[in-house]
């Protein structure tokens, strides 16, 4: 992995907890990447995620679009989000990162944090918006912010649009892979680890597309039903951290040990919680044919080699979970969300599905041509696009070039 442009470690003067910011690279002076909070978060993990963000941005490059990809970055705080001290730590971290957020780093929610919480803490830390660094790149800032505010106000069946687009992209990636293999959605079963923002939305979209969701896991363990879980009931019974109240389980639903989601009898596995969930040992228990990485870095490299050798296809995170990030920029730059658009959610989902189907199709085709994994193909495609973006737009905006 190439060396990041910038990495820094912050220590909270009140609790001693540590936080990190890694900027992998800049495009026109700006980078993008969410902020995660989890106990045990490391600088190395954040650097890997920042690199992934550079690729996610580049993969969505479309010379015809208004959105021009940014560089990649990531923030991380080593703290349990349920710790009573967590909110104070978050505000102090954002205060310390203020110069970067004001000038070059656009951020948002990731594992352990919700967008509402990040927004509230950012305001308390004296920031206008956690994406204010991109404002100078917009044609009409007021109109762009209006589009984003309007988009964030949209809810579909109890879940905000911002928390749905990512899962819509994951689901479309899965459906594209199933189509390419000639498998009908009704013949596919899915097991999901994590029922938070990404896992929850993915489960909804896959269930609505006709797949049977046979297992989901949250921090408390796995819930399973070979005949299919009632996904909407589980979604409605989540707390703010994506933990499901077991009181809603039906008599035929079973509670299984933590990692039972991994070995579920399903065609598709969706790790949508933590990094490093699938390793060289536990991969042997996987029975699925496809793994769609809704989470960032859930499958370790050694595990992927073994999985590939036995015919399991890993659809890589940089592709599969890239839609949330892209949706922010499609909205802010004005590719979608024009005032008066018929139905903002329909438009966002249609745009997401089109973009993800094209991207996943291209990645699978390249992997087939090159005889590589989809991950290697995605990285090669990202490298091609990154070279073009750098050539066209540069690391710094023209007026700031040093
Ligand atoms: N939120 C986004 O917009 C976004 C976008 C791209 C990628 N991601 C990635 O998706 C993953 C999940 O993010 P999120 O925002 O959905 O998180 P979240 O905090 O909303 O939800 C996490 C879910 O995982 C469960 N979980 C946590 N630890 C677990 C464990 N050890 N075993 C089983 N379940 C566990 C939690 O109970 C919860 O249901 C992360 O890797 C994140 O980087 C998120």
Residue 1, pLDDT > 80, answer: no
Q: Which residues pair with 215 in a beta bridge?
A: 191, 224
Q: Which atom of ligand 1 is nearest to the CA of 274?
A: 41
Ligand 1 centroid distance, CA of 14 (Å): 27
Nearest CA to ligand 1 atom 41: 295
pLDDT value at residue 338? 81
The CA dihedral of 108, 109, 110, 111, to the nearest 10 degrees, is: 160
Nearest CA to ligand 1 atom 44: 110
Nearest CA to ligand 1 atom 8: 295
Task: Summarize the confidence of residues 245-269 as an average pLDDT.
Answer: 97
Q: Which atom of ligand 1 is nearest to the CA of 199?
A: 16
From the CB of 295, is ligand 1 less than 6 Å away? yes
Total-model pTM: 0.94
Ligand 1 centroid distance, CA of 368 (Å): 30
Q: Which tokens belong to 142?
A: 């007021």
197-242 residue pLDDT tens: 999 999 999 999 999 999 999 999 999 999 999 999 999 999 999 9
> What are the CA-CA distances from residue 65 to residues 51, 112, 178 (Å)?
23, 32, 28
Q: What percent of the chain has pLDDT over 90?
A: 96
- Say which CATH class 6-137 falls into: alpha beta
Domain ranges of the chain: 6-137, 163-323+355-371
401 pLDDT band, cuts 50/70/90, is very low
From the CB of 194, is ligand 1 less than 6 Å away? yes
Task: Summarize the confidence of residues 11-26 as an average pLDDT.
Answer: 98
Residue 402, pLDDT > 60, answer: no
Nearest CA to ligand 1 atom 4: 110
Task: Summarize the confidence of residues 262-268 as an average pLDDT.
Answer: 98
To the nearest whole number, what is the mean pLDDT of the chain?
A: 96
Residue 400, pLDDT > 60, answer: no
Q: How far apart are CA 15 and CA 106, in angstroms?
A: 26
Could you tell me which CATH number the domain at 163-323+355-371 has? Answer: 3.40.50.720
> What are the CA-CA distances from residue 178 to residues 288, 289, 291, 325 (Å)?
12, 10, 12, 24
131 pLDDT band, cuts 50/70/90, is very high
136-161 residue pLDDT tens: 999 999 999 999 999 999 999 999 99
258 pLDDT band, cuts 50/70/90, is confident
262 pLDDT band, cuts 50/70/90, is very high
Q: How far apart are CA 234 and CA 237, in angstroms?
A: 5
The DSSP 8-state label assigned to residue 104 in this structure reads T
318-339 residue pLDDT tens: 999 999 999 999 999 999 988 7
Nearest CA to ligand 1 atom 30: 219
Provide the CA 39 distance to its chain's centre, in angstroms: 19
Q: How far apart are CA 333 and CA 315, in angstroms?
A: 28
From the CB of 321, is ligand 1 less than 6 Å away? yes
Q: How far apart are CA 258 and CA 274, in angstroms?
A: 13
184-195 residue pLDDT tens: 999 999 999 999
Q: How far apart are CA 68 and CA 28, in angstroms?
A: 9
Provide the CA 214 distance to its chain's centre, in angstroms: 22
Q: Which residues of 136-171 are buried (b: 16+ CB within 10 A; e: fewer)?
A: ebeeeeeebbebbeebbeeebeebbbbbbbbbbbbb
Among 86, 272, 326, say which to mutate for ligand 1: greatest number of ligand atoms within 8 Å of CB.
Answer: 272
31-67 residue pLDDT tens: 999 999 999 999 999 999 999 999 999 999 999 999 9
Q: Which tokens belong to 247?
A: 């009181």
H or E stretch at 74: strand 71-77
Domains 6-137 and 163-323+355-371 share a fold: yes
From the CB of 203, is ligand 1 less than 6 Å away? no
Among 204, 237, 272, 273, say which to mutate for ligand 1: greatest number of ligand atoms within 8 Å of CB.
Answer: 273
DSSP 195-262: -SHHHHHHHHHHHHTT-EEEEEEETTEEEE-TT---HHHHHHTB-TTS-B-GGG--TT-EEE-GGGGG
63-111 residue pLDDT tens: 999 999 999 999 999 999 999 999 999 999 999 999 999 999 999 999 9
Q: What angle do CA 53, 328, 209 make, to 5 degrees?
A: 90
Nearest CA to ligand 1 atom 13: 111
Q: Which atom of ligand 1 is nearest to the CA of 108?
A: 3
> What are the CA-CA distances from residue 297 to residues 27, 178, 332 (Å)?
23, 22, 27
The CA dihedral of 382, 388, 392, 398, to the nearest 10 degrees, is: 40
Q: What percent of the chain has pLDDT over 70?
A: 99
From the CB of 324, is ligand 1 less than 6 Å away? yes
Question: Nearest Cα to 54, choosing from 97, 2, 11, 103?
Answer: 2
């Amino acid at each position: 992995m190439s060396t990041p442009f910038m990495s820094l470690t912050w220590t909270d003067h009140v609790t001693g907890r540590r936080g990190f910011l890694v900027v992998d690279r800049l495009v026109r002076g700006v980078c993008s990447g969410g902020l995660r909070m989890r106990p045990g978060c490391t600088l190395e993990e954040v650097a890997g995620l920042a690199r992934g963000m550079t690729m996610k941005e580049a993969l969505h490059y479309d010379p015809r679009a208004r959105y021009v990809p940014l560089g990649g970055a990531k923030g991380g705080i080593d703290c349990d989000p349920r710790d009573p001290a967590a909110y104070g730590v978050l505000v102090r971290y954002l205060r310390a990162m203020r110069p970067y957020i004001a000038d070059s780093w656009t951020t948002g929610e990731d594992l352990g944090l919700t967008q509402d919480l990040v927004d509230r803490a950012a305001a308390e830390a004296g920031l206008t918006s956690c994406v204010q660094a991109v404002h100078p790149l917009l044609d009409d800032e007021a109109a762009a912010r209006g589009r984003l505010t309007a988009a964030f106000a949209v809810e579909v069946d109890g879940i905000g649009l911002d928390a749905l687009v990512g899962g819509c992209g994951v689901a479309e990636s899965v459906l594209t892979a199933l189509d390419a293999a000639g498998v009908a959605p009704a013949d596919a079963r899915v097991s999901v680890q994590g029922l938070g923002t990404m896992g929850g939305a993915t489960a909804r979209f896959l269930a609505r597309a006709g797949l049977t969701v046979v297992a989901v896991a949250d921090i408390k363990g796995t819930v399973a039903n070979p005949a299919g879980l009632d996904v909407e009931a589980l979604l409605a019974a989540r707390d703010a951290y994506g933990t499901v109240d077991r009181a809603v389980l039906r008599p035929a639903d079973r509670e299984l040990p933590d990692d039972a989601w991994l070995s579920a009898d399903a065609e598709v596995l969706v790790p949508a919680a933590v990094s490093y969930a699938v390793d060289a040992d536990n991969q042997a228990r996987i029975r699925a044919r496809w793994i769609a990485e809704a989470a960032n870095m859930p499958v370790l490299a050694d595990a992927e080699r073994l999985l590939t050798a036995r015919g399991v296809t890993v659809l890589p995170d940089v592709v599969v979970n890239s839609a949330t990030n892209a949706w922010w920029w499609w909205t802010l730059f004005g590719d979608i969300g024009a005032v008066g658009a018929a139905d903002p959610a329909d438009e966002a989902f249609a745009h997401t599905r089109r973009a993800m189907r094209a991207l996943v199709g291209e990645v699978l085709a390249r992997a087939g041509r090159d005889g590589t994994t989809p991950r290697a193909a995605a990285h090669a495609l990202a490298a091609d696009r990154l070279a073009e973006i750098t050539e066209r737009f540069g690391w710094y905006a023209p007026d700031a070039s040093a």
